[in-house]
Amino acid sequence: MKDLAPLLVVAIAYALLRALFLFARKTYHGWRLPPPSITSAHVGAFQRQTFQEICRRASRPGQDVRMTDYFDGRGWNHADALLIVAEPLKHQMIKTRGWRFGVYCPTRKGWAEYRTNFMWTGSEEAVQIFADNGSFVATNINSPHASVQVRHGNTTDQRHVSNRQLIEALREDARRADGDEAVRAQEYADDLAEAVRTESSDRVNRVLGRVNALLATAQSAFSLTRELLPPSS
> What is the predicted pLDDT for the residue at 80?
94
> What is the predicted pLDDT for the residue at 151?
40
Confidence at 1, pLDDT banded by 50, 70, 90:
low
Confidence at 146, pLDDT banded by 50, 70, 90:
very low
Confidence at 83, pLDDT banded by 50, 70, 90:
very high
Q: Which of 68-77, 148-157, 190-199 has the lowest mean pLDDT?
A: 148-157
Q: Name the burial class of residue 168, with classes exposed (0-12), middle (13-18) and buried (19+) by CB atoms within 10 angstroms of its CB.
A: middle
Mean predicted confidence (pLDDT) in 151-170: 61
Q: Which of 43-47, 83-87, 210-214 has the lowest mean pLDDT?
A: 43-47
Q: What is the pLDDT of residues 14-61, one digit of tens each?
A: 777 777 666 776 775 666 788 889 888 788 888 888 998 899 899 899
Residue 144's alpha-carbon distances to 124, 139, 167, 184, in angstroms, are 9, 12, 19, 30
Q: For residue 206, which of 220, 230, 188 has the smallest C-alpha distance?
A: 188
User: What is d(CA 53, CA 72) in angstroms, rounded to the nearest whole number?
Assistant: 14
Helix, strand or coil, per DSSP, at residue 138 = strand
List the domain boundaries for the chain.
38-119, 128-226
> What is the predicted pLDDT for the residue at 63?
95
Mean predicted confidence (pLDDT) in 174-199: 85
Question: Which range, 149-153, 220-224, 227-231, is most confident?
Answer: 220-224
Mean predicted confidence (pLDDT) in 77-85: 93
> What are the DSSP calls for 57-115, one per residue?
H-SSTT--EE-HHHHHHTT--HHHHHHHHHHHHHTTSEEE-SSSTTEEEE-HHHHHHHH
Residue 129: CB atoms within 10 A of its CB come to 24
Mean predicted confidence (pLDDT) in 210-223: 87
User: What is d(CA 95, CA 75) in angstroms, rounded to the nearest whole number?
Assistant: 22
pLDDT of 176 > 60? The answer is: yes
**pTM metric for this prediction:** 0.54
Q: Is the dihedral of CA 76, 35, 46, 173 positive or negative?
A: negative
pLDDT of 128 > 60? The answer is: yes
Name the CATH architecture for the domain at 38-119: Orthogonal Bundle (1.10)
User: What is d(CA 51, CA 85) in angstroms, rounded to the nearest whole number?
Assistant: 8
Q: What angle do helix axes 179-198 and 201-217 make, rounded to 10 degrees? A: 160
pLDDT of 140 > 60? The answer is: no
Instruction: Name which residue leads in pLDDT, 80 or 141.
Output: 80
User: What is d(CA 151, CA 229) in angstroms, rounded to the nearest whole number?
Assistant: 8
